[in-house]
Amino acid sequence: MSVLRGGLLGTLAEQLQARRDQHAYRSLRVAESPCGPHQRLRAENGVVVERLAFCSNDYLGLAHHPALIDALAEGARRFGAGSGASHLINGHSRAHADLEDQLAQLMSPWVPEARALFFCTGYMANLALLTGLASAGDRSTTLFCEKLNHASLIDGAKLSGAQVQRYPHADTARLGALLAQSTAGLKIIVTDAVFSMDGCLAPLAELLALAETHDAWLVVDDAHGFGVLGPQGQGSLAELGLRSERLIYMGTLGKAAGVGGAFVAAHPLLIEWLINSARPYIYTTAAPPAVAFALQTSLDLITGPEGDARRTALRARITQLRSHLPAAVAGRGWRLLDSPTAIQPLVVGDNATALALTAALEAHGLWVPAIRPPTVPVGAARLRIALSAAHTEADVAHLVQVLHALHVLTGGAP
């Protein structure tokens, strides 16, 4: 046994065991095939199994699109494998610049005069954005953060050092009162556009009206809306027809866009400020230019006829699930949340039920993740069913049928 066992390693082993005991232990699964509805996985015993998966954020099924794979290869041939440095040194390539121009143009109907800035991931974009905004000059900054915000916004708010006020989910009256009381020099409302564990939309029109009334800015994280919602997949602002200089938009490019990365679209001065001040932007190597190159093809697909067809297919799957699942599992208190998006959570109650259900689905060759507290409230453990344009009608019918069979077999408590 290692001599270090008595110290840190011993403590870690104990804490990991405690997590196992509380059914809170996490482990990795190795996918042996590209992201898609039918995914091959390596099971713990080393055998490769195939699962019908309802868990990815690849909402349009672009992650293994041949045109994107070709574009990634072509990008590598033209620009090399790596960027070599951060954006401010020599890592900012033609591919990054062109992608940013394309994104700015796409968002400018909603964020007037928008300039866009590309990041390696959405997590880093949110850290950069919130720390950068809070460091703007000598103003005292308050961030008004929605309760259900994504972890990256929560972490960005913490790291920013700004004062943080959290408001209850979708409670615009409470937010209005907090804004009215605030004496901060700079007020910023921060929200997910589509909540990742509930699938519902934030009341963005009301939030923007509050921002206007109280001279605040509105940061919108559209990780689950960009590519999916609005005409041409332009996202949640387009879906609701919202346009304002007060909007600061963050979209991710590893979900519906099928590749990876993220961007912020905002007033050019704000983007210039981020380039000059945001440490998570400045002190990291630029993403491989091939990624930025492939993303230009992804945007072409998203905004073109193929994107329209894929969004139509996704909406059909959402309608199909919502019209058949509630009846199939009726009578035992499982509740399909009222979500218009690809995220369709089935709330089943306690952790044990959610875990047992996930295990039972797995035994039937299906992969639907159980989401438990603290990610969701205690007593609201759920299956997070994520639909994609790549799912067929038969895939969704199979999920409904297996859930129905489990429900009947077990009286609703597997």
Residue 202 is classified by DSSP as: P
The Cα-based distances of 170 to 36, 130, 411 in angstroms read 33, 21, 34
Q: Taking the complex as a whole, how short is the minimal distance between the CB of residue 122 and ligand PLP, in angstroms?
A: 2
How far is Cα 68 from Cα 162, in angstroms, rounded to an integer? 40
Nearer to ligand PLP by C-beta: 226 or 334?
A: 226
Q: By C-alpha distance, which of 398, 396, 389, 353 is closest to 372? A: 353
Q: Which residues pair with 366 in a beta bridge?
A: 52
Number of residues near ligand PLP (by CB under 6 A): 14
Are 350 and 334 within 8 A, CB to CB? no
Q: Which is nearer to ligand PLP, 122 or 288 (CB)?
A: 122
Q: H-type helices in 216-339, by residue range?
A: 236-240, 268-277, 279-282, 289-303, 305-328
Applying CB under 6 A, among 150, 187, 267, 372 the residue interacting with ligand PLP is 150
Q: Estimate to the nearest angstrom the gap between the alpha carbon of 56 and the chain centroid.
A: 10
Binding ligand PLP (rule: CB under 6 A), the pick from 141, 252, 297, 388 is 252
| Both structure tokens of 295 | 């993303």
**Distance in Å, CB of 199 to ligand PLP, minimum:** 11
Question: Is position 339 an interface residue for ligand PLP (rule: CB under 6 A)?
Answer: no
SS (HEC) of 17-53:
HHHHHCCCCCCCCEECCCCCCEEEEECCCCCEEEEEE
Q: How far is the CB of 238 from ligand PLP (least distance, A)?
A: 18
Encoded tokens for 64:
């293994």
Distance, CA of 259 to CA of 389 (rounded, Å): 16
**Cα gap 363→306, rounded to integer Å:** 35
The least distance separating ligand PLP from the CB of residue 196, rounded to whole angstroms, comes to: 4
Task: By CB under 6 A, name the one of 54, 59, 79, 123 that touches ligand PLP.
Answer: 123
Residue nearest to ligand PLP (CB): 122
CB of 126 to ligand PLP, least distance (A): 6
Closest separation in Å from C-beta 2 to ligand PLP: 34
Structure token digits, residue 129: 């954005």
Compare residues 290 and 325 and give the one whose CB is closer to ligand PLP: 290
Q: Which residues of 203-218 are buried (b: 16+ CB within 10 A; e: fewer)?
A: bbeebbbbbeebebbb
- Please give the residues from 204 up to 223 whose contact with ligand PLP meets the rule CB under 6 A: 221, 223
CB of 75 or CB of 260, closer to ligand PLP: 260
Minimum CB–partner distance for residue 250 and ligand PLP (Å): 7
Distance CA 291, CA 63 (A): 12
51-70 residues in contact with ligand PLP (CB under 6 A) are none
Among 254, 258, 307, 412, binds ligand PLP (CB under 6 A): 254
Among 39, 121, 160, 388, binds ligand PLP (CB under 6 A): 121
Nearer to ligand PLP, 93 or 252 (CB): 252
Cα R_g (the chain), whole angstroms:
22
Binding range to ligand PLP, per CB under 6 A, among 122-130, 182-190, 263-271, 276-284? 122-130
Per CB under 6 A, the segment of 81-89, 115-123, 182-190, 393-401 that binds ligand PLP is 115-123
Round to the nearest angstrom and report the end-to-end CA distance of the chain: 41
What residue ranges bind ligand PLP (CB under 6 A)? 121-123, 126, 150, 152, 192, 196, 221, 223-224, 252, 254, 262
